[in-house]
C-alpha cells in the first residue's frame, strides 16, 4: 500500500505561495498537498506546469479542490458550475494532478433521483475532456447536499472517470455521529486508488457545521488509520482539512507509523 498524506492548501507554517508550500511539505516529511481553488481558479497554466514539475521532482502527490460555488443540481447554475470544474481540470492536467475534488450540489426542491440525473448528465459531459484527470465527487456533510456515498458510487458505476472522495468527517456528521468503516471500504474496494479527507467536525441534526482539529474531536483519527491499514488498497491519499492542516497531517502520519506502517 502507498499512503500519500498532506494538507489542504498552503500549510500554516509556510509564508510563501504554492511553490514554497510544496517545498515546505517535503521538508516536514509529508508527501501530498491538495491545491485549493475553493474561492476561484486563479492559477494560470504556466504556473500549473511549474507546480507539476516541482512536485514531481520532490515526489509530492497533487490534487485540486474545485471552487465551492458549484451546483450541478440547479438548471440556472449548471453551466457556470461545469466551467469551474473544467477550469480546475485544465490546471490539474497541466500540473499532473490526477483528481479534481468538488461538492456536486444541493437537492433544493428536487428528489435525489432528479439530482442524480442532472449530476450524471454533467459528469458524462465533462469526463473525457482532460485525459488522466478524474472527477472527484466528495461525500458531503449536509443533509441538504447531493453526495451520499451511495449516490456517488452510483455515478461512478455509470462514468468510470468519476471517483468518490471519501470525507470521513462529512460522513460522520451527515449520519448524526455514526460512521461504518467496513461499509465504506466494502463499497470502494475495487478502486485502484482512493482519495480521502479527514478532520474532526462539529455538526447539528442538519449535518456539518465546521471542521475541527483531530486531537479532541471525532471521528477518531486513530480509528480511521486502523481501518485503512486493514484494507488491500493499492494507493490512498489522506488530506487534512483540519484547521491545523499540516500539524494534523503529521499527527496522522506519526500515528500510522506507530502502528506498524512504513512510509517509503
What are the average pLDDT values for consecutive 10-residue runs of the chain, which has 264 residues?
97 97 98 96 97 98 97 98 98 98 98 98 96 97 98 98 98 98 97 97 97 96 98 96 98 98 91
Can you give the residue range of the structural domain that contains 43? 2-258
- Asked if residue 238 is part of any domain, the answer here is yes
Give the CATH number, domain containing residue 143: 3.20.20.150
Q: What cell was used for 116? A: 442524480
Neighbours of 248 (CB within 10 A): 23
Q: Which of 261, 245, 243 is nearest to 253 (CA)?
A: 261
Q: Are 101 and 70 in contact (CB under 8 A)?
A: no
Angle at 73 between CA 71 and CA 77, to 5 degrees: 50
Q: What cell was used for 74? A: 440547479
Number of compact structural domains in the chain:
1
User: How far apart (Å, rounded) are the C-alpha atoms in residues 14 and 102?
Assistant: 25
- Asked if residue 264 is part of any domain, the answer here is no
The conformation of residue 139, written as its DSSP 8-state character, comes to: P
Stated pTM of the model: 0.97
What's the pLDDT score for residue 137? 98
What's the pLDDT score for residue 135? 98
Four-CA torsion 18, 127, 144, 5, nearest 10 degrees:
-40
- Asked if residue 162 is part of any domain, the answer here is yes
Amino acid at each position: 500500500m502507498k499512503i500519500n498524506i498532506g494538507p489542504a492548501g498552503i500549510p500554516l507554517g509556510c509564508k510563501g505561495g504554492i511553490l514554497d508550500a510544496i517545498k515546505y511539505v517535503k521538508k516536514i516529511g509529508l508527501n501530498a498537498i491538495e491545491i485549493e481553488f475553493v474561492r476561484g481558479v486563479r492559477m494560470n497554466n504556466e504556473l500549473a506546469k511549474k507546480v507539476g514539475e516541482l512536485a514531481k521532482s520532490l515526489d509530492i502527490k497533487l490534487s485540486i479542490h474545485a471552487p465551492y460555488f458549484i451546483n450541478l443540481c440547479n438548471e440556472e447554475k449548471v453551466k457556470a458550475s461545469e466551467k469551474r470544474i473544467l477550469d480546475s481540470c485544465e490546471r490539474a492536467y497541466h500540473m499532473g494532478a490526477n483528481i479534481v475534488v468538488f461538492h456536486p450540489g444541493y437537492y433544493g426542491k428536487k428528489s435525489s433521483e432528479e439530482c442524480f440525473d442532472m449530476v450524471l448528465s454533467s459528469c458524462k459531459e465533462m469526463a473525457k475532456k482532460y485525459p488522466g484527470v478524474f472527477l472527484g465527487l466528495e461525500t458531503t456533510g449536509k443533509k441538504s447536499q447531493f453526495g451520499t456515498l451511495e449516490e456517488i458510487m452510483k455515478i461512478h458505476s455509470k462514468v468510470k472517470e468519476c471517483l468518490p472522495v471519501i470525507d470521513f468527517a462529512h460522513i460522520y456528521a451527515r449520519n448524526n455521529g455514526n460512521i461504518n468503516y467496513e461499509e465504506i471500504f466494502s463499497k470502494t474496494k475495487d478502486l485502484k486508488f482512493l482519495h480521502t479527507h479527514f478532520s474532526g467536525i462539529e455538526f447539528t441534526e442538519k449535518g456539518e457545521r465546521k471542521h475541527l482539529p483531530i486531537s479532541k474531536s471525532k471521528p477518531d483519527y486513530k480509528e480511521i488509520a486502523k481501518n485503512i491499514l486493514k484494507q488491500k488498497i493499492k494507493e490512498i491519499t489522506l488530506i487534512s482539512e483540519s484547521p491545523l492542516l499540516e500539524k494534523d497531517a503529521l499527527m496522522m502520519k506519526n500515528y500510522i507509523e506507530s502502528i506498524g506502517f512504513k512510509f517509503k
